[in-house]
Chain A
Amino acid sequence: MFEPQIVSLIGWGFLETLYMTLVSTLIAYILGLPLGIALIVTDKDGIYPKRYFNLVLGIIINLLRSVPFLILLILVFPITRFVVGTTIGSNATVVPLVIAAAPFIARLVESSLKEVDGGVIEAAESMGASPAQVIYKVMLPEARPSLILGSAIAVTTILSYTATAGIVAGGGLGDIAIRYGLYRYKTDIMMVTVAILVIIVQILQEIGMKLAKIGDKRK
């Protein structure tokens, strides 16, 4: 199985997977982080309560999160085609990945920010901090270790989504595993791609935990 073209195929798939995962995570955070902040800040116990806004935002996020990824992938084909011009390949897969991951990340961010001690926020308010200053100078820095751990969860979840996208020719290692392993019974190629996926997950998770620990001054 180690013919040069198979090796280069898997190598290329590996790069595509990394590309999809990292780009989608980045864009999903650009959308999901402000959404998560909005969820916590506009909550009835938040620093800027907006009841109905919070309710509507929560419902939209829950709706997006309740659609299984495989179905979402097909459901958003029109959007994907509009944005990228095609529905196959790694660039096209980024679109549904972002749509699926952003609400998930919003919830992760929300739960990280919820851990910040209310007393510290109150102290900042007592010093005359505005809601924006409370968010940037207190909530985000105080939640940093938890946010980093959350991002490790997000990136590994998105990685597993990229593999699912293989079923619609989404590119990357998942695509190879399905085309060779499922359609052509080349079990060895499938095993190799799965092994690589496992290793990537391990490495990303480990990096996340290390970074969270280095940045944590609570002990």
Chain B
Amino acid sequence: MIRNPIIEIESLSKTFTSTNGEFHALDNINLQILEGEIFGIIGMSGAGKSTLVRCINFLEKPTQGTVFFNGRDLSRLTKRELYSIRQSMGMIFQQFNLLMQRNVMGNICFPLEIAGMDKRSAKMRAQELLELVGISEKAYSYPAQLSGGQCQRVAIARALATNPKVLLCDEATSALDPATTQGVLTLLKDINKRLGITIVVITHEMRVIQDICNRVAIIDHSRIAEVGDVEKIFSNPKTAAAKRLVFPQDQSIRHFSGTRCLRIVFDGNSSFEPVIAGMVLDFRQPVNILFADTKNIDGRAFGQIVIQLPQDESVADGMIEYLRAKNLTVEEVEGYV
């Protein structure tokens, strides 16, 4: 299926000028985000990703370059036009940013009031959204009475109220615990599927990208380092920035005698087959698992394992063959131990 780009970022730069001089937050960014996809933007903190997402809805005006939304150049809009176009771009935040003096219903009605909808229709729409995000029973609670996960659900409902075409998520799960994060990510995926809304996810966590994104851009030192399908970048990261994000950082174990390390990527293989254990039994040689991050989704395995191979070269080569025969993506990683 050929999808049209809904957001086009063209040679965009953003420079902040302060008394300490100039700071180039973004440097010549070019990106196309396609209609209906979940697009990830990942980078270390300070890489410029939060500035980038704020340029998409022009909360930050780019110093150079521009953004096209549905073919319209945002830099050529009047203020009024910009306010109305922002109603077709919802946004959620790390700290939720709910109105503390309004209850859940009031928060969800807020963007509808801004858009000029009458109170009754706004309430009915809010009710629908509460059901969509699964917190109907909290309609008359105040944000201070809700958990972080519930707050983010309210924020999502609020962002969706005006039927936006795009949902921008700025570190939306970074303030949540792992279980709650999973719930929110599942909700985002579900919304993408059901409403066909394009989602842009800003994060510093590779897990979030792996979980829900179709494509990803890696941003490093104010520039785009790499863009592509998540599976491709994950199984074959080309740039240093991509490798830093894909590879785990803990490298403390060094007692095993082998020197060759192998990264095995699971991208949907059967999780019912015990591959590593089977290999160890077949070769009668142990391998050392240095890192493992896999999960089971509907009987299919996703994630990666880094193992250290035995000293014996022929056994090590045999193991690589064995894994390849199982249709797993395997690559040797250097300098891991």
Asked if residues B114 and A124 are in contact (CB atoms below 8 Å), the reply is yes
Q: Interface residues of B: mostly helix, strand, loop or mixed?
A: mixed
A residues less than 8 Å from B162 (CB atoms): 127
B162-198, CB < 8 A from A = 162, 168
**Which of the segments B97-105, B239-247, B289-297 contacts the partner chain?**
B97-105
If A123-B93, A219-B144 touch, whether A141 touches B84 (CB-CB below 8 Å) is no
A14 vs chain B, min Cβ distance (A) = 36
Interface size class of B (residues with CB under 8 A): 20 to 34
Distance from B321 Cβ to chain A, minimum over Cβ atoms (Å): 53
| Shortest distance between the CB of A25 and any CB in chain B (Å) | 23
**Candidates A122, A133, A141; contact of B101 at CB < 8 Å:** A141
A68 within 8 A of B: no
In A161-219, which residues have CB < 8 Å from any B CB? 215-219
A126 within 8 A of B: yes
Q: Min CB distance, A29 to chain B, in Å?
A: 20
B103 proximity list for chain A (CB < 8 A):
217
A138 within 8 A of B: yes
Known pairs A126-B86, A128-B85, A137-B110; A119 contacts B99 (CB<8 A): no
* B115 cross-chain contacts in A, Cβ below 8 A: 128
From A117, A123, A144, A145, contact of B91 by CB (8 A): A123
Given A138-B99, A141-B99, is A126 in contact with B114 using a C-beta cutoff of 8 Å? no
Is the CB of A8 closer than 8 A to any CB of chain B? no
Interchain CA distance A6-B307 in the complex, whole Å: 97
Q: Is the CB of A128 within 8 A of B100?
A: no
* Residue B113 interfacial (CB < 8 Å): yes
Question: In the complex where A123-B93, A218-B144 touch, is A128 in contact with B99 (Cβ < 8 A)?
Answer: no
The 7 A-B residue pairs with the shortest CB-CB distance, nearest first, are A128-B86, A123-B97, A126-B91, A119-B97, A128-B83, A127-B111, A217-B142
